[in-house]
Structure 1
Amino acid sequence: MRMLDEARSHCDRLLPGLCSALAGVPLAELERPGSPAIELFRKYGGAGLLIPTAHGGAGAGARDAVRTMAALSSYSPSLGAAVAMHGFSVATLRAVPESVNPLVPVLLGAVAGERLLVASAFAEGTSGQGVLAPTMTARATGDGRYRLTGSKKPCSLSRSMDLITASVRLMAPDGGEPETAIVLIPAAAEGVSVHPFWDTLALAGAESDEVRFDEVPCGPEELLRLGDDPADSERLTSTGLIWFQLIISSVYAGLAASLVEDVFRRSRGSASDRAALGAGLRSALLQLDAVALRLEDGEVGTGALADALTVRYAVQDAVGDLSGRSAELLGGMAFIHSSDVAYRLAAGRALAFHPPSRTSTAAPMDAYFAGEPFVMP
């Protein structure tokens, strides 16, 4: 099918061999706990996908990311969901200006060169918090170092991560206002532990368990301070949120594309049925391309964020519609004799559970469409 052929071609160019490796493993094996998919992603250089070539990465842009994530998720939705958080973490780090923290290029080079996977312990999954809201507190120990305490659940890549990135609240020793910073610590650090959390079969291969931080030691070199300019912090927050919506929406678009592809492969339904599915999928991918193009052009203000959320919710609706209509055209025998159709139908619903929910942004979106500035809740 054209859309997935194009997506897989992009993936083959950026991460040669990965699509073929994933295609050789049954869906049920890719989606189970302990899936080989994440290590295949590492093996074929996926850790450096979004890292510029100057730092040893594949140099993918935002539009490349849409296609590559859709391609990977057409084989394994769990892989897409897991590495979406790696991509989000890398994209957030990449957005930190070198003038604010000169260590960022060094960190990105290490991630690409050593094929390190970066988990995200930002606030995803925490009701009432923004994605970049601090989930941990850092207590100063008096020697210029800190001790981190907190928890993230669910935390994708929890079993395969090499590094963990998160926003932290640095508590002021004098009782003043806390400072927000980004922390990047080794997954093997003292006080970091992983605990079972994910109880459903859907997306079980994403390793979305609980990660706890119990007085984890942290030095100043592991903290990315954002500086004193509120504009820098706001820009970083908006950039990270747009990247998150773009990547996670691409994951579920790829999942829906795999069902649409089955309809075309088996010539199910009429030409009109198939053309309608193809048009719906193409439209969703083009909407994601529009968000990606604005990212590449440097449009990361609050208006761009509101538009990215608009596209995310539209893709969310399209995934449900395309998956349901594809399953209907594939028919009852396809549903009965293989769990793949039922699995993808269930997993596709999970886009609605990624933050921010449609309900939580309803009032700000209402105000934005009425002509007011968009304010992220």
Structure 2
Amino acid sequence: MTSTAIGLPPLALDRLPAVTAALAERAAEHDRDATFPTEGFDHVHAAGLLTATVATRHGGPGAGLSDTVRILRALGAGDPAVALVTAMTLLVHAAEARTPAWPAASYAGLLAEAATGPALVNALRVEPELGSPVRGGLPATTARRDGDRWRLTGRKIYSTGAVGLSRLLVYARTDEDPARVGSFVVQAGTPGLSIEPTWNHLGLRASRSDDVILDGVPVALDETIGLAEPGPAPARPDPVIGAWGSLGLAALYLGVAGAARDWLTGFLHERTPTALGAPLATLPRFQSAVGEIEAALIGADTLVSALAAGVDAQDVEAAERAGVAKLLATRAAINAVEQAVALVGNHGLTLDNPLNRHYRDVLCSRVHTPQDDSVLAATGRSVLDRHPAAPRSPATKGN
């Protein structure tokens, strides 16, 4: 266990199996009812997992990416909705640990709250017209100067964990000329802030990724992060920041696939058709199929863990490969659960068994940044830039 100077709960990685089990107990209920798993975050908080990446200079454990991957894999196996909101919170703390950007008093207030209970944070960036800012464009959400404060007006969609967030980092533009763009720190319960329950998704239903409506929400003038005039993207963005998101989310969905594998193996041991007179687990066909699933998950787990360790060791190449690792890992996770469903037929799709939930949840891995098309295009450009066209021989010129 790691002690902390400001009263944060100590990080207890040895409690991960118990936390996974506790989350799994109510995951089906929250999925069925699309209810936010509030009690799940109490378990995560009590084990110090929500504040694992708080920097040591702030009295936190200062966990690296390797531990974060381990945490999110375990939580994903229990309840991926809890894992996803936890991931967003851990990534915010990790970014602040690497590159301080929060107003000092604001971050201190967040940590004080985190010392006594779950203090969830997420960056709200996606809008109906804009889509994801990663694809380019300026937000429609506007911050208007009003005396000694800003007034935020706009709508954010796909706001993961909105109903349970303590702090909302709202991506917006100012109404100045020229406009500045950045994140505005909004506390839950601020007047003018409301949540519209629009989330009616196939997977990760308990994440409550609802719409957030801002109607003149007041924010102190200094409660901003990275507020500046928009400019061209850096020629070489910091790959470490992206690696945390890519590998952390990959681990989360590998946790989902691991839970699906565990249910499958239990089913194969228990299912004994009358004509066979023995469990399905004794048949070579099922043994080989489970072996295929396990081989893919071992490969993906190993890749994600190895690159996370490389990032912690400041290996730039490891960080640059994180997007490809996310692509490979999430494909492996989806394929593993699909194979499990195919093996057991109707048993895998019935709502009485958890495999259908794991399948719906693991499909959500495709929507997170960086998405597959962006990863493949960037990787392809990099390869083509490194390997220019070879000079043609005289015999081939003109062909």
Same fold by TM-score greater than 0.5: yes
For residues 27 and 277 of structure 1, do their structure 2 counterparts lie closer, same or farther at Cα, with a shift above 3 Å needed?
A: same
Structure 1 position 123 matched with structure 2 position 126? yes
Residue 372 of structure 1: CA displacement? 5.8
The percentage of aligned residue pairs carrying the same residue is: 22
2:394 corresponds to: none
Mapped pair 1:247 → 2:248? yes
**1:48 corresponds to 2:51:** yes
Distance apart, 1:206 and its partner CA: 0.5
**Shift of residue 276 of structure 1?**
2.8
1:16/1:284 CA distance change after superposition, 3 Å = closer
Work out which structure has the larger RCO, using CA pairs closer than 8 Å and 6 or more positions apart in sequence.
1
CA shift digits 1:97-137 (9 cap, x unpaired):
37x96557635633532431112202388535308976433
1:106 aligns with 2:122: no
Letter in 1 for 2:252: V
2:103–2:222 CA contact under 8 A, matched in 1: no
Alignment of 1:301-320 (within 5 A): 306-320=320-334
1:160 deviates by 0.8
Assess if the C-alpha contact under 8 Å between 1:65 and 1:247 holds in 2.
yes
- Alpha-carbon distance change, 180 to 92 in structure 1, aligned in 2, over 3 angstroms: farther
CA-CA distance at 1:216 after TM superposition? 1.5
User: What is the Cα deviation at residue 74 of structure 1?
Assistant: 0.9
d(CA) in 2 for partners of 1:236, 1:185: 27
Q: 2:290 aligns with which of 259, 268, 274?
A: 274
Letter in 1 for 2:145: A
Partners of 1:93 and 1:235 in 2: how far apart?
A: 20
Contact between 1:145 and 1:220, CA under 8 Å: does it hold in 2? yes
Shift of residue 332 of structure 1?
A: 4.0
- State the Cα distance separating 1:58 from its structure 2 match: 4.4
Matches for 1:216-227 after TM superposition, within 5 Å: 216-225=217-226
Query: Gapped runs of 5+ residues in structure 2?
Result: 1-10, 270-280, 388-399
Amino acid at match of 1:162: S
| Bigger Cα Rg | 2
Per-residue deviation, residues 142-174 of structure 1 (Å, max 9, x unmatched): x353222222211111111111113333343xx
**Where does the alignment leave 5 or more consecutive residues of structure 1 unmatched?**
1-9
Structure-2 change in CA distance of 1:128 and 1:181 (3 Å): closer
Would you say how many aligned residue pairs link Structure 1 and Structure 2?
A: 357
Corresponding position of 1:212: 213
Instruction: Specify the SS of the correspondent of 2:162.
Output: coil
Cα distance in 2 for partners of 1:83, 1:134 equals 27
AA in 1 matched with 2:150: Y
1:313 deviates by 1.0
In the alignment, which residue of structure 2 is the partner of 1:193?
Answer: 194
Task: Return the letter of the residue paired with 1:167.
Answer: Y
Deviation at 1:43, TM superposition (A): 4.9
- Whether the aligned pair in 1 keeps the contact of 2:103 and 2:223 (CA below 8 Å) is no
Residues 14-25 of structure 1 aligned to structure 2 (within 5 Å): 17-25=18-26
| Aligned counterpart for 2:354 among listed residues 333, 336, 340 | 340
Aligned position for 1:182: 183
Q: Whole-Å Cα distance in 1 between the matches of residues 136 and 93 of structure 2?
A: 14
TM-score by length of structure 1 reads 0.80
2: CA distance between counterparts of 1:13 and 1:309?
29
CA contact (8 A) 1:92 1:236 kept: no
